[in-house]
Amino acid sequence: MIDKLAFIEIQNNKILSTRSRGKDVYYIPGGKREKGETDLQALMREIEEELTIILDPSSLSFYGEFMAQAHSHPAGVMVNMRCYTASYEGTIHPAAEIEEVAWLTYNDRDRVSEVDTLIFDDLKSRGLLF
């Protein structure tokens, strides 16, 4: 089981997504927690490293938890994604291993990881993603 956290940012009914160097799919930004980190600590660290923005910890809101086959891992390796929304300071720029930042619509669902497709479906069902 891969334990991950994700930052859901919706603007104009599009979701912020990232593509890492050498990868062929997009992922909702976030990452794995380091030993002893809380959800808040891990998500704030990962987002600052990947996107150069600072999440406002007082605005952090749990969105949902999703589980699916982990992309590019052997069958049976699952990823559990705990998703949050938050306000932030700064301007989004790709950093660290992130090669590209993109704003995706529901029609881009075939360009994302397995767990992200579940999140896209949930966002669409709530009228947040078109």
The residue type at 84:
Y
The enclosing domain of 32 has a CATH number of 3.90.79.10
pLDDT of residue 34: 94
pLDDT of residue 55: 98
- Whether 52 is covered by a domain: the verdict is yes
- Whether 50 is covered by a domain: the verdict is yes
Query: What would the pLDDT profile of 65-84 be if each residue is shown by its tens digit?
Result: 999 999 889 999 999 999 99
Number of domains in the chain: 1
In the predicted structure, residue 124 carries a pLDDT above the cut 90: yes
The answer to whether the CB of 29 falls within 8 A of the CB of 51 is yes
Query: What would the pLDDT profile of 11-32 be if each residue is shown by its tens digit?
Result: 999 999 999 999 999 999 999 9
- Whether 7 is covered by a domain: the verdict is yes
- Whether 104 is covered by a domain: the verdict is yes
Taking the C-alpha atoms of residue 91 and residue 66, their distance in angstroms, rounded to an integer, is 28
* C-alpha dist (Å) from residue 93 to 50, 51, 68, 105: 8, 5, 28, 19
Tell me which residue of 34, 37, 32, 35 sits closest to 5, measured CA to CA.
Answer: 32
Query: What would the pLDDT profile of 84-118 be if each residue is shown by its tens digit?
Result: 999 999 999 999 999 999 999 999 999 999 999 99
Domain membership of residue 47 as a residue range: 2-125
- Whether 130 is covered by a domain: the verdict is no
At 36, list the tokens. 């002893």
